[in-house]
Amino acid sequence: MYKLIVVSALLGLMAGSARADIILSTSNPPGTPLAMTAGTTSGPMLVSVASDNPPNDVMAAWTIKLEIIANGGATGALTFQDPVTGTSANPANYVFAGNGLGIAATNGGSTLTANDFFDPGAGSGASVPGTPGLNLLRMDFLASSNATGLFGIYAVEGTANTQWTDSNFTTHFYSNVPDGTSTVRIGDVLVNAGVGPPATPEPSTLVLLGLGATAFVGWRWRENRCRSKQ
């Protein structure tokens, strides 16, 4: 009940906007993709925040909405595998350390939303450092068996989608993900084609291989016999 009251209060205060000094990024930004193989689950990608104005930016709440969009020429499907819908484990170097109320995630396959709130009983919020910053979320991906190519990880702009709240309960938009109705690319995943099972020889090929082996054995037998007569 306590968490519900706190979350409801903070959500009510997360309205309006102000100047933002925090950048939203990933451990695999555009141009440095997370590589994986079709039909497998990827390694981890971390979503992180860093302040342009440390240590003055204090974060009391955050929310992000991410979407996977395939580049032209990509095939198959890439989806968010983890976190699943529910309460997600804190990533390493979590911005709220052990003072969050719990990361709530909603996994829609090609979309992922997550949010958390700093526990008011532990203080007014967490100071966000400069680059490389601290982490918000750990996630990985599942590629279909026919997937290949480059897929972008995008932050969805707009109130209640991707924003953060400071210690005065003022809402900010990330400096690289402003308020709007579009998306901003913050990560890349490159899916390489999987290696299929060894090809099974056709019956005719097996017959030819058998005949060839028989002929070779016969030739060796005749050669050895001729040598023994010399």
Task: For 72-103, write each residue's pLDDT tens digit.
Answer: 999 999 999 999 999 999 999 999 999 999 99
Buried b (16+ CB within 10 A) or exposed e, 20-45: bbbbbbbbbeeeebbebbbbbebeeb
**Which sign does the torsion angle of CA 194, 198, 203, 208 carry?**
positive
Position with higher pLDDT, 147 vs 15: 147
| Structure confidence at residue 75 (pLDDT) | 98
Is residue 81 assigned to a domain?
yes
**For the chain, what is the domain count?**
2
**Could you tell me if 37 and 96 lie in one domain?**
yes
Same-domain status, 206 and 188: no
CATH (domain of 178) = 2.60.40.680
CA–CA dist 209, 221 (Å, integer): 19
pLDDT score for 85: 98
Lowest pLDDT segment from 35-39, 64-68, 165-169, 219-223: 219-223
187 shares its domain with 207: no
Q: Are residues 108 and 152 in the same domain?
A: yes
Together in a domain, 174 and 209: no
Reduce the DSSP state of residue 219 to 3 states and report it.
helix
Residue 168 lies in a domain: yes
11 and 120 part of one domain: yes
- Calpha distance 128→167 (Å, rounded): 12
Evaluate whether residue 197 is within a structural domain: no
**Residue percentage of the chain with pLDDT more than 90:** 73
Residue 105 lies in a domain: yes
> Residues 34, 28: contact at Cβ < 8 Å?
yes
- Indicate if 169 and 217 belong to the same structural domain: no
Mind giving me the DSSP string for 103-169?
EEEEE-SSEEEEEEEB-GGG-S-EEPPSTT-EEEEEEEEEE-TT-BEEEEEEEEPSTTTSEEEETT-
In a domain, 86, yes or no: yes
- Flag whether pLDDT at 146 surpasses 70: yes
Contact status, residue 113 vs residue 85, Cβ threshold 8 Å:
no
Would the pTM of this model clear 0.85, i.e. be above it?
Answer: no
Residue-range definition of the domain harbouring residue 209: 202-230
Residue 6 covered by a domain: yes
Q: Report pLDDT for 54.
A: 85
For residues 43 and 227, which has the higher predicted lDDT (pLDDT)?
43
Residue 41 is predicted with a pLDDT of 98
pLDDT at 56: 85
Write out the E strands in the chain. Answer: 22-26, 34-37, 45-51, 58-70, 78-82, 86-88, 103-107, 111-117, 126-127, 134-143, 149-156, 163-166, 171-172, 183-192
